[in-house]
Amino acid sequence: MRLASFRHAGRDGFGAVVGDRIVDLGGHHADLGAAIASGALEDMRRRAGSETPTIPLAAIEYRPVLPRPEKFVCAGYNYRARASEKAPGDFPSVFFKHATALIGHDRPMVKPRNSESFDYEGEFCLVIGTRGRHIAAADAFRHIMGYTLFNDGSVRDFQGHSVQAGKNFPQTSALGPWIVTADEIADPTRLTITTRVNGKERQRGSTADLIFDIPFLVAYVSSFMELLPGDVISTGTPAGAGWRMTPPHWLKPGDVIEIAIEGVGMLRNRVTAEA
């Protein structure tokens, strides 16, 4: 099942994507995150299979698939090909993404006017479906309800003195276009991820190359905070971001970034200048 958040006919909603239309699943919950938190996944699955999809995908404005995640934890330097950038330690380096930084699929990523060092990072995300604290790595997949794509927009000059600042400018990161439920992904540990800028491939990696794999990340994050349904963990980005090119290739207004993960989908955004 694919679950999307959207705006249509002047209201915000969420639903299940069926072909080129959506089964509207709103009405009982404020947003998709609230529905997941309430344990409504099986009810949404039942309705998606029995109700008629009425809203054309072409008519919606995509919102961040989880508009207001309570916790959005990101892992840095987590692909083996990036080991030359920063030697991995015994534990992942993590930071947090604020909801105000997020936009949806096909929405403009805003290049900040006080920086010329705007960059992309294609990432694979886990969406928590079952709460847990001190989760054993062997039990991690029982707590994951689905997967989505993420463009971790990064303002590199600010990131140089504060990771949190450089990662949290408004409307600089994209999440979506939907969550694919875990039952549809046979092996999330061996998925290919690619990033293209203006049609040219910049990043290619596999989740098999994660230094700290999916079970480790779930276990680690749950060791210092309780994971709740609707929380997000992003697993890091492969090599090939613009700041590592010679010379660096920064994003500029008009650039189009496409992030694709097999079995999950494609997240596309165009860069615009901050007003």
Instruction: Give the residues across from 232 on adjacent strands.
Output: 72, 127
pLDDT in tens, 239-260: 999 999 999 999 999 999 999 9
For 191, the token pair is 């998925």
> Is 90 exceeded by the pLDDT of residue 228?
yes
What lies within 8 Å, CB to CB, of 261 at 6+ separation is 124, 147, 149, 191, 192, 193, 194
Question: In this structure, how many other beta carbons lie within 10 angstroms of the beta carbon of residue 81?
Answer: 14
CB 118 within 8 A of CB 153: yes
Is 269:109 a contact under the CB 8 Å cutoff? Answer: yes
In a domain, 134, yes or no: yes
Which pLDDT belongs to residue 84? 64
If one counts every other C-beta atom within 10 angstroms of the C-beta of residue 229, the result is: 22
Longest dimension (CA), the chain: 54
- Would residue 30 count as lying in a domain? yes
Write down the residue that tokens 């915000």 correspond to. 12
Quick one: pLDDT at residue 89? Answer: 83
Give first-to-last CA distance, the chain, whole Å.
Answer: 37
27 has pLDDT over 90:
no
Q: Are residues 22 and 156 in the same domain?
A: no
Residue with tokens 């534990």: 91
Which tokens go with 26? 């709103």
Same domain, 12 and 77: no
Average pLDDT, the chain: 96
Of 151, 170, 164, residue with least CA distance to 106:
151
The CA dihedral of 142, 143, 146, 149, to the nearest 10 degrees, is -130
Same domain, 45 and 148: no
Is 36 in the same domain as 114?
A: no
Same domain? 178 vs 50: no
Both 160 and 246 in one domain: the answer is yes
pLDDT of the residue at 87 = 66
* CATH number assigned to the domain comprising residue 106: 3.90.850.10
Which residues form the domain of 10? 2-62
The whole model's pTM is what? 0.97
Asked if residue 137 and residue 58 are part of one domain, the reply reads no
Contact by Cβ (8 Å): 213, 175: no
Closest CA to 143 of 159, 155, 152, 132: 132
